[in-house]
Structure 1
Amino acid sequence: MDYQNLFELMQQELGGDDTDESDDGSDEDYQPSEASESTDSDCDLEIESTSSSDNETDVRRQAPDSYCSRDGTQWFKHPMSLARTPQRNIIRQLNGKVTNVNGDFQNPMEAFSLYVCPEIVDDIVKWTNQFAETKLGTQWKQTDGIEVTALIGIWIIAGVTHNNNQSTEMLWSTKYGLSQVRSTMSRERFQHLMTYLRFDDKAERSQRQERDKLAPIRKVFDTFNARLQRFYSPGAYLTVDEQLVPFRGRCGFKQYIPSKPDKYGLKIFWIVDAKTFYPLKAYPYIGKEAGRVQVGLGEKVVMDLARPYARSGRNITMDNYFTSLNLALNLQKDQLTLVGTVRSNRTFVPAEFLPKRAREVESSIFGFRETATMVSYVPKKSKAVILLSTMHSSPDVIVDKNHKPEMILFYNETKGGVDSLDQLAHRYSVKRKTNRWPVVYFMNMVDIAAIAAYIIWLGKNPLWQNKQRTRRRHFLLELGEALTGPNIQRRMASNTREQLRCDFANAGYTAEVRTTSSEASPPAKKRRCHSCPRSSDRKVKTCCTKCMKPTCPQHGRFVCHDCAQ
């Protein structure tokens, strides 16, 4: 599929086109959050000016054609002459593409299983059965891969219909619930699986947790993380930012970020394709290491996330939580470029770049080094936006109404990759209320896997429902049906309850009623249609699958007119 078309499709998803009249009017679209707890990632969030005396307390000797920062870094006023394009700016792959996938997908489940793979499902089955047996003994009915995938399918169906926050009583209600959910498994079985769901050996967890706080879900998370990188090669522009997974239970590394919509949660750093929002790799934040605050965490996160893409010439856009001159130089060694906002208290920023009342609105100051460029733009009086780039090397200013430098416009175009991914995850999230953070982590993995599978699916099937405005919703519904289907068919073979037969029929399955004796049941007798006038005396063998009353083809097909109303 053409990369530009895929980019336009993902932008359409964010534009709110995947909602229709069936949506509940109370559901509001999630707005992408700010990128950092201490600062805004948008370059239009300006730095307020301080007094001129504060900005000029450290005056150093400098050349007349340069600026000098507090740590002695020299920034020249004019660009350095370059004989040829630097090797770090040579892009070897402009567009993203699907990799390591042979042939086309037959259904969305095949794309989803690339990420939530049989290895992950088998681990969940193994440890869930082991833990449940220690609690319930022989009373526990062994689960298997079909039932675990059906559990995930229920999550997805509840999420796409905006019922993920409904209670189980409401979700299984015959009046207000979903027949697809009731057909998949009983409410009691669903609650048991949610209670005993485990991702590791709890008996050995305490030893591993001394070295790794993510021990309860580490193996599953690492398997999932590795598979994200395997099936997609990103384009030239990447974005690094953080995601806050909402959670208010007990956890040693739970974060409080007041600028985020969810406020409390688990922080995960992501690197994504800036155009298609495909998630490439995650770096979980697990708090202090050995009881000490991690120094230089931003640089450590970016270097770890960017390692698979070294020597590719790609650019990484980030906010001021990560950006530093030292990080930019380290990325250059790996032939990667950086564009990001800069905090005003960084020691490599000259005093001339800081906000001042005397600076003219919409003016820009540029500073150049051999391998880096910095700009300070004034959008308002006494405000300033500072950007650092190793991708740009000229003082280009776009002549528009705001006279913004080209560096800032590029930053605005590529900064929102992770925020857009988070917005997509929130729109049809599978997350349910739980006090166990490993389950929250896994539910977030299901959300991310569904987004990645959708992008891969469009890459392989570009014409699939191309006239529909709700393509992602249809994809998730088909995915949920495919995940729950095998368990429904297994239940149909062993359950003859009248209500379940109705649920099977409403979910699109035909249940065959098994005879209780070894002899074949006699042929059904004809009975008078309950909807026809008695005078017509029309007798039929067919009946309504819901109320089981005799119904002729004229007055009903699967259900009679009375039940349909």
Structure 2
Amino acid sequence: MHDQLTVKTLVGKFRNTYIPEKETAIDEGMIAWKGRLIFRVYMPDKPDKYSIKAYLVCESTSGYIWNFEIYCGKSRPIKELVVDLLGPQLLEKGYHLYQDNYYNSVELCEMLLQRNTYVCGTFRLDRGAPKELKDDIKNLKKKGKFVFPRKGQVLIQVWRDKRDVKLISTLHTAKIVESAKTNRKGEKICRPEVTGDYNKHMRGVDRADQMLHYYPCSRKTVKWTKKLVFFLLQVAALNSFILFKMNTTNEKYKKRKYKFKDFILDCVQKMTEPNKQCGEGEESRNEVDDESIASDSSAVTPPPAALKDRQ
């Protein structure tokens, strides 16, 4: 109960403190955990293979974690999950959402399009692609060829590279552009415009996950709730660092040399300075009290008036 309250409080702070830019991304983040747990997951492609899964909404450019939800073992409909992650603050505002094939489907794209939210990402053919598309893919014999069926504003594009790259978008055309990469002959490689934008803007969650793994604060524990609290503290520190770099006017902190590690050390130093001063004050106060007690004990206490009369 307390953990749920802590998560809701922090997520509310993340969402109310900052409004992300137009390009946002949804992906999974992992909280390493090898102990016994009902909703522990195994994902071999991730650095932490055994872990607690969290769905993250990040700003693509900075990696600011705007919202997240812990996977608790019960699968939810993808449409419901995505809508809850975006919330009324991002829906119907013209945002561009980048996500992988775990989330994308033709039905989801159409639903988000009605709410003025545009989608781009990879795609699975069994998520609403037309049946004749499979036959068209078989005819893609040469590298660089592509097909692009449309359903209204929903574009499905399959591009033959080393393997078939399946993409879906509601904000792109089937335009082919030159990339910065070249082949062995020195010729520039042409690829769909969707691919370049997806690779560029899908890095938000990866960037945040990478920075969280640089300086972990988690410790060995037998309680998964403590592991979750450590993760929340790391996310709060990372978001604070990103906002600090955005809003600071001091050129010293705007430089790339000022890293997340330096920010954490500065925060620790600032947080411990008042406590240190209080500690010194208490010690000096105790010394004064001890001296006064010693001086009082050395003096002879005069007898009360009643005792004088008896004497």
TM-score range, shorter chain: 0.7 to 0.9
Q: Are 2:272 and 1:484 aligned? A: yes
Matches within 5 A, 1:333-352: 333-352=114-133
1:44-443 correspondence to structure 2 within 5 Å:
215-288=1-74, 294=75, 296=77, 298-307=78-87, 308-353=89-134, 356=138, 359-380=141-162, 383-392=163-172, 394-400=173-179, 401-443=188-230
Alignment-mate amino acid for residue 168 of structure 2: L
- Write 1 or 2 for the structure with the bigger share of helix: 2
TM-score by length of 1: 0.47
Q: Partners in 1 of 2:79 and 2:171 — Cα distance?
A: 18
Change (3 A) 1:464 1:349: farther
Could you tell which deviates more after superposition, 485-494 or 249-258? 485-494
Give the corresponding residue for 1:59.
none
Residue by residue, what CA displacement relative to the aligned partner does 1:52-77 show, whole Å, maximum 9, x if unpaired? xxxxxxxxxxxxxxxxxxxxxxxxxx
How far 1:372 moved relative to its partner? Answer: 0.7
Between the aligned residues of both structures, percent identity stands at 25
CA contact (8 A) 2:133 2:149 kept: no
Residue 399 of structure 1 deviates from its aligned partner by: 3.0
Distance 1:258 1:323 in 2: 21
How many Å apart are 1:252 and its aligned residue?
Answer: 2.1
Q: Which runs of 5+ in 1 are unaligned?
A: 1-214, 289-293, 496-510, 522-565
- Following TM superposition, by how much is the alpha carbon of 1:346 offset from its aligned partner in structure 2, in angstroms? 3.2
Aligned to 1:539: none
> Tell me, what secondary structure is at the counterpart of 1:476?
helix
**Residues 244-283 of structure 1, C-alpha deviation per residue, up to 9 Å, x if partnerless?**
1111223221111111111111111011111111111111
Using the size of structure 2 for normalisation, the TM-score is 0.84
Shift of 1:344: 3.6
Shift of 1:426: 0.9
Aligned equivalents of 1:448 and 1:483: distance in 2? 18
Question: In structure 1, what is the Cα distance between the partners aligned to 2:140 and 2:23?
Answer: 36
Q: Distance in 2 between matches of 1:473 and 1:355?
A: 49
Structure 1 ranges of 4+ moved more than 4 A: none
Shift of residue 367 of structure 1?
1.2
Kept after mapping to 1: 8 A contact 2:221/2:227: yes
Deviations 1:114-153 (CA, angstroms, capped at 9, x unpaired):
xxxxxxxxxxxxxxxxxxxxxxxxxxxxxxxxxxxxxxxx
Change over 3 Å in CA distance of 1:330–1:222 after alignment to 2: same
Q: Tell me how far 1:433 sits from its aligned partner.
A: 1.2
Letter in 2 for 1:247: W
Question: CA 1:357/1:492 → structure 2, altered by over 3 Å: closer, same or farther?
Answer: farther
Q: Counterpart of 2:13 in structure 1: which amino acid?
A: R
Is contact 1:283–1:301 with CA below 8 Å preserved after alignment? no
Give the drift of 1:467: 4.4
Aligned pairs, number: 283
Name the SS for the 2:62 alignment partner. Answer: coil
Match of 1:470 among 258, 267, 276: 258
Which has the larger strand fraction?
2
Structure 1 residue matching 2:168: 3-state secondary structure: strand
Task: Read off the aligned partner of 2:292 and give its amino acid letter.
Answer: S
SS in 1 for 2:206: helix
Distance 2:102 2:123 in 1: 8
Are the structure 2 counterparts of residues 372 and 436 from structure 1 closer, same or farther at C-alpha, using a change threshold of 3 Å?
same
- Structure 2 Cα separation of the partners of residues 346 and 233 of structure 1: 31
Equivalent residue for 2:183? none
